[in-house]
Amino acid sequence: MKFDERTYTFSDAGRFSRTMTIVAVVGIVATLAGAAVDLRQFAFSWLVAFSFWTTIIIGALFMTMVHHLTGAKWSVVLRRITEAAMDSLKFWWIFALPMLLCLKQLYPWIDVAWMHEDETLAAKLPYLNVPFFVIRTVFYFAVWVGLAVMLRRISLAQDAGWNPDVKSAFLRISAPGMILFALVTSFAAFDWWMSLQPSWYSTIYGVYFFSGGIVGVMAFIALVVHALHAKGVLTFEITKEHQHDIGKLLFAFMIFWAYMALSQYLLIWYANIPEETSFFKARWIDSWKPLSVLIAVGGFTVPFVLMMNRTLKRTQWGLSLFAIWMLVMHWVDVYWNVTPILHTDHAVVSWMDVTALLGLGGAFLALFWRSFTRAPVLPVTDPKLQDSIEFVNQ
């Protein structure tokens, strides 16, 4: 790996992308081979892994738009990380295809006769049907990819020389883009997760889905910064002050995610309507029960107590361990939301859960590193860059 500190570019990106590509190929091929053994397990394992990485990627898109809308200075040095992550959306839609090909194994509403047995479910058929589901998924990715490509293109064009119109261009895309993003992401949560149990509903589910992804992407940013510093890259430009703010945002969105989860639970518990309580009832039996407790304690209580400490957020290893833990808990949360439909009696982690996670993770990291290293890793002509480098927490 060779990095030019004057131009902030890589002349040699190293072997990381190739290594991750090998991991991706091996993991994906192994998972696809598992489809011949147990197609339904394959479908759920793929959906869990696909959802986990997709939420992180669209979380990067969200953070990029927030950066432009707020005009933040401190995050200028981190912008190319989120841009490279969201840039993978150009190819990521390919990995939605196995999900679309396995709708019968995933979603009970495919059985129209079964849906007609219940008057309430029958009323949902104009929305829950294969053609409309596929069209919606295509639309979701069209919006995400469109926003990511436009923002990335403008950002890279900025490297040739600063133009005051660039700021307006970012705002023209990000302002309406944020509204579209909110709608599309919410409906993706309804389609991909909530319709696994078509009789159940939660109006807050889209925000819950989204907030988990933001926790994931902030953890990812923290780990990327640690990895770059380990290689001597951007050690002067990304300082403890930036790490502190990354830690604060990770901490804040963890609380926001927990608030959404608790709000959803309390409303359903208080109303005590069978159609709603069925979701939590299915996750409060056998080994699903301790997993539910783990999400509450490990996903919020323990990290909340530990990461209130300012020093831990400013210590690279402390922040990185926190980030790794939150990524693990994010995967557990995704698994907890999706898999009880398949394993109704007790939690079972299949080998395909592991290979799918590694395969899609390798693909994402290969795409991310390829995009990140093909351009300057900082927006070199951004007028706020020096202020960002000199940023100090107040």
pLDDT of residue 289: 95
341 beta partners: none
Q: Show the domain range for 41.
A: 10-374
Residue 161 has pLDDT above 80, yes or no: no
Question: In this predicted model, what pLDDT tens digit does every residue of 45-104 receive, in sequence order?
Answer: 999 999 999 999 999 999 999 999 999 999 999 999 999 999 999 999 999 999 999 999
Residue 1 has pLDDT above 90, yes or no: no
pLDDT of residue 274: 87
User: Does 158 fall in a domain?
Assistant: yes
pLDDT bucket at 36, cuts 50 / 70 / 90: very high
Write b or e for each residue in 339-369: b if 16 or more Cβ atoms lie within 10 A of its Cβ, otherwise e: bbbbbeeebeebebbebbbbbbbbbbbbbbb
User: Does 379 fall in a domain?
Assistant: no
pLDDT of residue 366: 97
User: Does 322 fall in a domain?
Assistant: yes
Q: What six digits make up the tokens of 229?
A: 């510093």
- Structure letter (DSSP) for residue 15: S
- Closest by CA to 53, choosing from 291, 330, 329, is 330
As a whole number of angstroms, the distance between CA 199 and CA 30 comes to 34
As a whole number of angstroms, the distance between CA 264 and CA 209 comes to 12
As a whole number of angstroms, the distance between CA 339 and CA 333 comes to 10
pLDDT of residue 246: 97
Question: In this predicted model, what pLDDT tens digit does every residue of 240-258 receive, in sequence order?
Answer: 999 999 999 999 999 999 9
As a whole number of angstroms, the distance between CA 93 and CA 97 comes to 7
As a whole number of angstroms, the distance between CA 189 and CA 72 comes to 29
As a whole number of angstroms, the distance between CA 60 and CA 150 comes to 14
Cβ 336 vs Cβ 51: under 8 Å: no
pLDDT bucket at 114, cuts 50 / 70 / 90: very high
User: Does 390 fall in a domain?
Assistant: no
Cβ 179 vs Cβ 253: under 8 Å: no
Cβ 342 vs Cβ 39: under 8 Å: no
More confidently predicted of 42 and 163: 42
Residue 174 has pLDDT above 90, yes or no: yes
pLDDT of residue 158: 87
Question: In this predicted model, what pLDDT tens digit does every residue of 179-231 receive, in sequence order?
Answer: 999 999 999 999 999 999 999 999 999 999 999 999 999 999 999 999 999 99
Number of domains comprising the chain: 1
User: Does 385 fall in a domain?
Assistant: no
User: Does 180 fall in a domain?
Assistant: yes
12 beta partners: 2
User: Does 393 fall in a domain?
Assistant: no
Mean pLDDT of the chain: 95
User: Does 392 fall in a domain?
Assistant: no
Q: What six digits make up the tokens of 98?
A: 């196995």
More confidently predicted of 140 and 160: 140
